[in-house]
Amino acid sequence: MTALHRSTPAHGVSARLSRIGAASVLTAAAVTVPSLLPETAQQAEAATLSLRALDVAASKQGSPYQWGASGPNRFDCSGLTLYSFKRAGKKLPRTAAEQYNSTRHISAGSRHLGDLVFFHSGSGVYHVGIYAGNNRIWHAPKTGSRVRLEKIWTRSVWYGRVK
């Protein structure tokens, strides 16, 4: 080897890595950034929970709407979100407005699959669904309808992420 090749940073790093071992590198990395690990784990857990809730809501496709119902066979809008998140492992309050107040409010640009979509008039929340991507939600729309996937039909929505 030439003197130039031996002095390159990559060679020095690989030589150090082989001396300290892969396990030590991982330990060193974990010790270097401990404050990031718990939050990242919590975010991953919340995302997994939301995706499970989204799957539960989708599995209820075709279930009839019934005001005040929260499953397992009939739902109103907040009953569907309550049921879906409960099956995924997270308890939500009963009404759409209470659910909005219990979430971390996020912007439309920050929304992810499984986030809650709250429909509002002024400052009052009147409907909720679960974001399914491509500007669509799973929801229980109204009397005489069934749980379905539908395009978000208005700009009067707020987004919330279950904590």
CATH number (domain holding residue 59): 3.90.1720.10
**Which entry of 5, 77, 105, 112 is annotated as an active-site residue?**
77
* The pLDDT of residue 25: 36
Tell me: the pLDDT tens digits for 102-125? 999 999 999 999 999 999 999 999
Asked whether residue 48 is assigned to any structural domain, the reply reads yes
Greater confidence, 12 or 75?
Answer: 75
Other beta carbons less than 10 A from residue 55's beta carbon: 16
> Has 120 been annotated as catalytic?
no
Torsion, Cα 47 131 146 101, to 10 degrees, reads 80
Asked whether residue 47 is assigned to any structural domain, the reply reads yes
Asked whether residue 148 is assigned to any structural domain, the reply reads yes
* Residues above pLDDT 90, as percent of the chain: 70
Q: How many independent structural domains does the chain possess?
A: 1
**Which entry of 5, 11, 112, 139 is annotated as an active-site residue?**
139
Q: Which domain holds residue 66?
A: 23-161
Asked whether residue 18 is assigned to any structural domain, the reply reads no
**Which entry of 11, 105, 112, 127 is annotated as an active-site residue?**
127
Asked whether residue 1 is assigned to any structural domain, the reply reads no
> Has 139 been annotated as catalytic?
yes
Contacts of 80 (CB under 8 A, 6+ apart): 57, 60, 70, 71, 129, 130, 138, 139, 140, 147
Tell me: the pLDDT tens digits for 74-96? 999 999 999 999 999 999 999 99
> Has 127 been annotated as catalytic?
yes
Angle at 122 between CA 76 and CA 81, to 5 degrees: 25
Asked whether residue 16 is assigned to any structural domain, the reply reads no
Asked whether residue 14 is assigned to any structural domain, the reply reads no
Asked whether residue 8 is assigned to any structural domain, the reply reads no
